[in-house]
Each structure stands twice: as structure tokens, then as C-alpha cells.
Amino acid sequence: MEEKRSAPNQNWPRYVLAAMAAVVVIIILIAVAVVRSVRETTSQLLSPVNQFSTQAAQVLNPTPTIIADPVTIIHDIQTLARLETVHYTIEKVISADAGSGSSLDFLFGDRLLLIAYGEVIAGVDLAELEAEDLELRNGVLYVSLPPAQIFVASLDNDKSYIYNRDTGLLSRGQVDLETLARQAAEDAILEAALEDGILDQAEINAEHFLVRFFDALGYPDTVLEFGEK
């Protein structure tokens, strides 16, 4: 009769299993070390290339250095007594075109679109008041005031920005086109405020304030007259 062979014993001793686990851990550690070594070697090989790219970028796109001169010259100091009574904040879209309007503008033209933000402040300059401009008749105070005027009309360069600029294929762009656009924007903002009646509104607001002011001083009946603009 054929003898029956006994199946191999599947229960490994504990020291064998521990040895196998240690070998697996060692293999994993060696693999991690190899990967790190490869990364460090690659980084060292690419380091000169990266340094050259950084230096080239700094040469082609240098960071501007801005230094304020420590010497300050004050040309004039004025004493002001301005009563600011109205403040406008205005947005304008300005188009500037350096092209000739010909068919060659796609080669040599330069056009930009500026979104401009600015402010206009108006009021009455009380420094222009003289003693004879105030007269009390029959308990009524008559005050002759100078006309309202524009105190500030400026462009907010921090909020204003170039929305779009199209430069011809063979054109480097006009150097001062943006400067000209910003100057035109400042004029346009002032014109818009004047057309909206900012000076009239400034006199209305000044009248409301000054009537209450003179009433607090003991002149309940006050008549204000503004000069011609």
C-alpha cells in the first residue's frame, strides 16, 4: 500500500515570523533612503539650472528700487478756512488711442481703456470774508459770501487701472499714453461734477450749515448771499 504523506506544518515558529518582518522593514527603509537620495541628487543637478533661471528672471524683470530723497523743500504754507460742503466720488471710462486710424493700426497702433476713479470736493472759502461782508439791519444778519468753488479734483491712482491695452504687432507702445489718459480722466471727472451741479449743491449745503451756525451765535434771522460764480 502507498504510504500517506503528511502535509507540511503551516505554523511557523515565532522567531521565523519576526525575522521575516524585520527583513520587510529593512527593505522598506532601504527603498525610502534610495528615493530620498535620488531626489537630493536630482535637486543638486537642477540647482544650477534653477539659479540661472532665477538670475535671468531678475535681469529681465528687475524689481524697481524706490528711494525718497531725504531733503525736503517746503515752498509755501497757507492758512486755510475752507468750508467743505460736498464730496463727489466719480467713475469714468477713458479710451486713449495713439493710432492714426489707418489700416496699419494693427501693426503700429496703441490703444488702451482706463477705468478711472476720482473725487471732487467743493465748498466755500471763508477766508475771503471781510468785516464789511457782515451787516446787521433791523435784527437781521446779512452775510455776503464768496461763491462756491472746487477745492479738490483728483484721480485716485490706487483704484484706477488699465482694463485693456491693444498694441500693434510691430509697436512697443507709446510711453506716455497711460499718463495722458490719466490726465484726461482727471479733467473728465471735474467736468462731470460741474455738469452735475456740484457748485450749486455746495452753496445749498453751506447755507444749511451757516444758518444753524449763526443761530447758535444768537442771530436767528440770517440772510446769506453768494457771489457770482
Q: Tell me, yes or no, if the pTM score tops 0.85.
A: no
In the chain, domain spans: 13-51, 82-226
How far apart (Å, rounded) are the C-alpha atoms in residues 83 and 127?
A: 9
pLDDT value, residue 3: 46
**Per residue in 56-74, pLDDT tens?**
555 555 677 777 777 778 8
As a three-state string, the secondary structure of 132-200 is: HHEEEECCEEEEEECCCEEEEEEECCCCCEEEEEEECCCCCCCCCHHHHHHHHHHHHHHHHHHHCCHHH
**Is residue 188 within 8 Å of 94, Cβ to Cβ?**
yes
How far apart (Å, rounded) are the C-alpha atoms in residues 122 and 193?
A: 10
H-helix or E-strand spanning residue 27? helix 14-60
Q: How far is CA 160 from its chain centroid?
A: 7
**Total Cβ atoms within 10 A of residue 88:** 21
- pLDDT bin (cut points 50, 70, 90) of residue 13 is low
Cα torsion at 192, 193, 195, 200 (round to 10°)?
A: 180
Could you tell me which residue, 59 or 124, shows the higher pLDDT? 124
